[in-house]
Amino acid sequence: MDSVFEEATRLRRAPGGRLQADVHEAFLTGGGAFGGWILAVATRALRGAAEAGMVPKTLNAEFLAAAPSGASVIIAVSALRTAAASECHRARLHLADGTPVAEATMLLSRPRDDPSFTVRTMPCAPSPVELQALDRSLFPGTWVASHDMRHALGAPGADGDGTSRVWTRLLGDDAMDFERLAALTDASIARSYYRPAPRPAIATVSISNHYHCTAETLAAIGGQHVLIEASTTIGTHGYFDQDSRIWAPDGTLLATSRQLVRARYPSRSRSEDADPYSAAGAT
């Protein structure tokens, strides 16, 4: 039997050579499809368009509007570059009525046996079995409830500096691949929850992922937790940044990610802040 994640990110053929995915009830925010779900289905479509043996190196996405619960998302993939050593593909995601949801580009490359180096090492953190699971009922939507999160540093509701280290995995899932890794890059609780109140409604509007692993590295992780180290640098004019590093249990750096998040504070009325981003990827 397929896991909930496999079911939720399954693609089917649509007219005109396009693909289609249905927004799944297990991956919803307070306003629509979870941004990680958008990244996962885009990754599945983009990888499917690449030549065999190509490994994702980057994924850049702009979130344009919310995909409501139960909606079908149409995905059109086009090649921007194809060569022997690397490829770049673009995915445009929209609703059945043509409303754009997101646009993503992926660079893929064939692995080469070149010299490697790592400057950073995985930060110290207790084993996930020693830590208490996050109370998932405290957050809107369903996507948080689809993950097991165990905080080794920082906690939502604390008046800290926005830094956290969280062992995270998809519940009921015993695999790891680039689709799951893409979803996990957006699976950190928003930095606004780690800062002093007031805490705004938020929506990811842009994300840039760099991948530092192979499919074999991911497959070896299986259903284990990965450590997501997340922080923020600045919040201003209704936006804040969020950086993260995702580490395998053995200390291998899998991905680095940076995103920009839109914040809507309670003092602002919806009429003051009405725009297509209002629920795109919102926590």
Show the CA angle centred on residue 142, arms to residues 255 and 189, nearest 5°.
40
Q: Does residue 270 fall inside a structural domain?
A: yes
Average pLDDT, the chain: 91
Q: Kindly indicate the confidence band of residue 270, based on its pLDDT and cuts at 50, 70 and 90.
A: low
Q: Does residue 123 fall inside a structural domain?
A: no
Percent of the chain at pLDDT above 90? 77
* Position 228 pLDDT exceeds 90: yes
Question: Residue 87's pLDDT is what?
Answer: 98
Q: Does residue 241 fall inside a structural domain?
A: yes
Predicted model pTM: 0.93
pLDDT tens digits for range 111-124: 988 888 889 999 99
Q: Does residue 120 fall inside a structural domain?
A: no
Q: Kindly indicate the confidence band of residue 76, based on its pLDDT and cuts at 50, 70 and 90.
A: very high
Mean per-residue pLDDT, 89-94: 99
Q: Does residue 224 fall inside a structural domain?
A: yes
Question: Residue 202's pLDDT is what?
Answer: 87
Q: Does residue 193 fall inside a structural domain?
A: yes
Beta strands in the chain, from DSSP E residues, in sequence order: 12-14, 18-22, 55-63, 72-82, 86-95, 100-109, 147-153, 164-170, 201-211, 226-231, 235-236, 239-247, 253-264
Q: Kindly indicate the confidence band of residue 264, based on its pLDDT and cuts at 50, 70 and 90.
A: confident
Question: Residue 156's pLDDT is what?
Answer: 82
pLDDT tens digits for range 241-261: 999 999 999 999 999 999 999
How many folded domains does the chain comprise?
Answer: 1
Quote the domain boundaries for residue 222: 4-111+130-279
CB 45 within 8 A of CB 260: no
Question: Residue 267's pLDDT is what?
Answer: 65
Q: Does residue 150 fall inside a structural domain?
A: yes
Q: Does residue 116 fall inside a structural domain?
A: no
Q: How far apart are CA 223 and CA 273, in angstroms?
A: 40
CB 135 within 8 A of CB 95: no
Residue type, 128: P
Give Cα 27 to chain centroid, integer Å: 11
Domain containing residue 223: CATH number: 2.40.160.210
The helix/strand/coil state of 144 is helix
pLDDT tens digits for range 161-209: 889 999 999 999 999 999 999 999 999 988 888 877 677 788 999 999 9
